[in-house]
Amino acid sequence: MIFLRKLNRFVLLIPTIVGFSCIGTNVLFAEPTWIENQSGSLLETSNWNNGFPSATEAGSITGGTQTISDFTLNDFSLNVKGGTTTVAGIATIGNGTNAVTFNMPSWSELKFTGGLTIKSGSSVNITDGKIGIDSTVASSFDDVTIGVTTDNVANFMTIESGATVTTTRKIRLGREVGSAGTLNVSGMLETSDEHVLVGLMGTGSVNVDGGKLSMTHNNAQMILGDSNDGNCVGNVTITNGGTITGINSFSIGDKSTATGTVTISGKNSGMNVKSSIFVGKEGKGSLSITDGAYISSNQIKIGESSSGNGTMTISGKDSTGTASTVTATDFILVGCNGNGTLNVDSGAKINSKQIMINDTGNGVGTMTISGSGTNVNIDSAFYVGHNGQGALTISDGASVTVGVEFIVGNNKRENSNNILTIDNATLTGNGNHIILGRAQSSHITMRGDNATINFNGRQVCGLAEYGAQDVVFDMEGGAFNVNTTPTTHEGYSLHQNAIQNHSGGTMNIGKSDLQINLQLKDQSVYNLSGNGILNVTGEMNKADSATFNMTGGTLSTNKVNFHLVQEGGNLSPGIVWDENAVYNIGTTTLSDYTLKTGATITLEIAGDTFDQIIVTGNTIFEQGANIELAYDESVLDAGDTFGLFELKGNVTGEEYLQNALSAFDSTTWNVKFDDVSNMVNFTYTGYDPNAVPEPATWGLLSLGVAIFFLRRMKK
């Protein structure tokens, strides 16, 4: 200080003073420095040159080879600039505002044998050198490695809430075969390097519990299982609002021997990926998003390569009703060259531009969508078997909405059998197509009272459009509503040798104010049976080689342009659109018609309006056929006559028409065919309560009384 006071008098002494201050024992401007090659406690003052570090004056480790037995920073900051340093035991960067910088030459090493914990308020910056957290050796790479050679519970780094770690280095967990390392992030971890490798050849685990892991490199990649050597395992969990952001590519089960598992749960817990997520890229991968968590990416590929096997599950909501959500701005591929499985359930949601189940044809893709409130919304296309074998099940109140096209079996591929099952769930197509079995063998099943398919598109709706063989659609329940006209084939169409087995539910081809046709092309077959209801507001057309079989069910249509052979079931003009209507009056025109034994026609009479069947060709009535009449006797007078049939061609079996009426109706109606007007007239004779039927008709009369109570009801 004397020199400073007399500085103005002794200017020529300045170089000497400065030189002294740089090299002397009590250095004027020197920072506290660890004594090289000195081992011992970080808190022992005798292990430091130039005094002991403080909160305002950081200490430095600049070189040498040393072992630090007590690495606990509570009251001062530290810079590690070089040397080979081993930290024995538990390392803690304390509870204050400590700042630690690991800015070492690439040749220098820093090893923690008992784990590293960074507590709230502290910050660590790692810019260079070899940082290893392992019980035996330091990292041999210029990076941060947690778990180098050993599988030890002390191989961990924990960043507590309120703490921050920044690094420019690669992060590796589980470097060698048999090693394991764990990274716990409740605070903030930011890396500007290209890679975070979880389970390189050993086992790596990343737990983001309420914290944030951010990658800032333009090509940032997080890889779970990054080596074909060893049995590498990578695990990532994100909970309590934790996030992983900035990743360009995220691979789960990257290499063929790898297993990767990612679990994301809880509201606001999630992951944002700029480009691609691979679930089972070459190895085995699992991704689970539950309890209101989310992920977003441009592309998601599940089971990408031939050895890849991936499973992705999106499930449920949190306690406030926030749905677990997956967003893909481009597409989701389920089964590329490998095996892929995608499960969506319990009110979860997917929003994607496209979904393709089996994209390339060499693998198998399976997707299930289930549960009330579960929704998959696709802006563009949804393919079940895009180039190969795919299976989709929509069930238990779930819904799928597609903006452009929904296609099963999109492109030709040998030995591919696609499966679509809709079980008490809803599929809505608002764009161009709903095509079932377009170019590949496919089996479609629709069942349950609440199963619904809505076609609101513009071009194609039907089966086997592009030459697919072995396409079968089993409609067992629900409602298939063709609400707009498919213009490409002038209606709902069946192609090739496609088969639609309609044994339950309602097929509404058209609406009350819109006529749409049914087209049976090539060798296609439509089988109406059981409790199936087929409503066609337009015309029914078929090729000579196609087949329409009616052995049961109910047919209501405007016009049939082929010979309808009704072997069973019920032909009923007037489509039921209003469930509250007493009568649904309509006219059905047929080219040729055969009503076989056991088959039924139901005709309604509502005052001045009534159902009518017009046959422009030949008509055959077989003995034992049935005609059911629905009417209100209170508005009828004896002698009222209704021309319920107009038969313009040859008629065979008109003598069976009177006996086709029920036992009750046969006593109150007379049926007569007028071959001049071609009309079959039904004349009401009135009900005589005193009339005593023949003994043989008592059994039939009791059935007729039961029908009487149903006459006021809609058919």
Q: Using CA atoms, how far apart are residues 171 and 312, in angstroms rounded to an integer?
A: 26
User: In the structure, how many helices (H) and strands (E) does the chain have?
Assistant: 5, 62
Alpha helices in 253-351 (DSSP H): none
CB 497 within 8 A of CB 469: yes
Average pLDDT over residues 657-684: 95
As given in the structure block, the two tokens for residue 285 are 């991968």
Q: What is the pLDDT of residue 689?
A: 58
Q: What is the pLDDT of residue 129?
A: 84
Among 61-70, 411-420, 474-483, the least confident range: 411-420
Q: What is the pLDDT of residue 389?
A: 87
Q: What is the pLDDT of residue 97?
A: 67
Among the listed residues 659, 671, 683, 561, the one whose alpha carbon sits nearest the alpha carbon of residue 616: 561
- What is this structure's pTM? 0.90
As given in the structure block, the two tokens for residue 307 are 């050895």
Beta strands in 130-199 (DSSP E): 130-133, 144-146, 151-159, 164-167, 171-173, 180-185, 188-191, 195-198
As given in the structure block, the two tokens for residue 176 are 């060698």
Q: Using CA atoms, how far apart are residues 574 and 609, in angstroms rounded to an integer?
A: 12
pLDDT tens digit sequence for 152-171: 999 999 999 999 999 999 99
DSSP string, 504-535: EEEEEEEETTEE--EEE-TT-EEEE-TT-EEE
As given in the structure block, the two tokens for residue 263 are 């679990």
Residue 28: is its pLDDT beyond 90? no
Residue type, 556: S
Q: What is the pLDDT of residue 96?
A: 65
Q: Using CA atoms, how far apart are residues 264 and 326, in angstroms rounded to an integer?
A: 11
Q: What are phi and psi of 46, to 5 degrees?
A: -70, -10
| 93: Cα within 13 Å, side-chain hemisphere | 30
Residue 39: is its pLDDT beyond 60? yes
Among the listed residues 37, 130, 47, 34, the one whose alpha carbon sits nearest the alpha carbon of residue 78: 34
Among the listed residues 695, 605, 607, 675, the one whose alpha carbon sits nearest the alpha carbon of residue 644: 605
CB 640 within 8 A of CB 610: no
Pairing state of beta strands 284-290 and 309-315? parallel
pLDDT tens digit sequence for 132-150: 999 776 666 678 999 999 9
**3-state SS assignment for residue 196:** strand
Q: What are phi and psi of 486, to 5 degrees?
A: -75, 105
Q: Which residues are within 8 A (CB) of 544 and not within 5 positions of it... i.e. 6 or more apart?
A: none
Mean pLDDT, all residues of the chain: 89
CA distances from 276 to 170, 222, 252, 402 (A): 20, 11, 11, 23
Percent of the chain with pLDDT over 90: 76
Average pLDDT over residues 573-583: 89
Q: Which residues are within 8 A (CB) of 74 and not within 5 positions of it... i.e. 6 or more apart?
A: 94, 95, 96, 98
Among the listed residues 652, 602, 591, the one whose alpha carbon sits nearest the alpha carbon of residue 630: 602
Q: Which residues are within 8 A (CB) of 25 and not within 5 positions of it... i.e. 6 or more apart?
A: none
Q: Using CA atoms, how far apart are residues 302 and 293, in angstroms rounded to an integer?
A: 19
As given in the structure block, the two tokens for residue 14 are 């300045």
Q: What is the pLDDT of residue 23?
A: 33
Q: What are phi and psi of 384, to 5 degrees?
A: -100, 100
Q: What is the pLDDT of residue 24?
A: 36
Helix H or strand E segment including 703: helix 698-708
Residue type, 581: A
Q: What is the pLDDT of residue 167?
A: 95
Percent of the chain with pLDDT over 70: 90
Residue type, 585: I
Among the listed residues 184, 328, 324, the one whose alpha carbon sits nearest the alpha carbon of residue 250: 328
Token look-up 């507001």 returns 537
Q: Using CA atoms, how far apart are residues 90 and 667, in angstroms rounded to an integer?
A: 102
pLDDT band at 639 (very low <50, low <70, confident <90, very high): very high
CA distances from 613 to 507, 525, 562, 588, 591 (A): 21, 24, 15, 5, 11
pLDDT band at 21 (very low <50, low <70, confident <90, very high): very low
Among the listed residues 170, 156, 178, the one whose alpha carbon sits nearest the alpha carbon of residue 128: 170
Mean pLDDT is highest, among 43-52, 406-415, 647-656, for 647-656
Q: What are the residues facing 400 on neighbouring strands?
A: 376, 427
Residue type, 79: N
- DSSP letter for 45, please: G
Round to the nearest angstrom and report the end-to-end CA distance of the chain.
113
DSSP string, 653-671: -GGGHHHHB-TTHHHHEEE
| 708: Cα within 13 Å, side-chain hemisphere | 15
Residue type, 41: S
Average pLDDT over residues 587-616: 97
Q: Using CA atoms, how far apart are residues 331 and 415, in angstroms rounded to an integer?
A: 25
| HEC letters along 212-249 | EEEECCCCCEEEECCCCCCCCEEEEEEECCCEEEEEEE
pLDDT tens digit sequence for 91-118: 998 766 678 888 888 778 889 999 999 9
Average pLDDT over residues 257-261: 95
More confident residue, 586 or 136: 586
Cα angle, residue 531 at apex, residues 525 and 535 outer, rounded to 5°: 65
CA distances from 607 to 581, 632, 679 (A): 15, 8, 19
Q: Which residues are within 8 A (CB) of 332 and not within 5 positions of it... i.e. 6 or more apart?
A: 299, 300, 301, 302, 326, 342, 350, 352, 354, 355, 356
Q: Using CA atoms, how far apart are residues 286 and 53, in angstroms rounded to an integer?
A: 48
Average pLDDT over residues 4-17: 34
CA distances from 19 to 27, 30, 32 (A): 10, 12, 18
Residue 22: is its pLDDT beyond 90? no
pLDDT tens digit sequence for 496-519: 999 999 999 999 999 999 999 999
CB 293 within 8 A of CB 238: yes
- DSSP letter for 323, please: B
pLDDT tens digit sequence for 351-395: 999 999 998 767 889 999 999 999 999 999 999 998 888 999 999
Among the listed residues 241, 232, 297, 230, the one whose alpha carbon sits nearest the alpha carbon of residue 260: 232
Q: Using CA atoms, how far apart are residues 254 and 205, in angstroms rounded to an integer?
A: 15
Residue 563: is its pLDDT beyond 90? yes
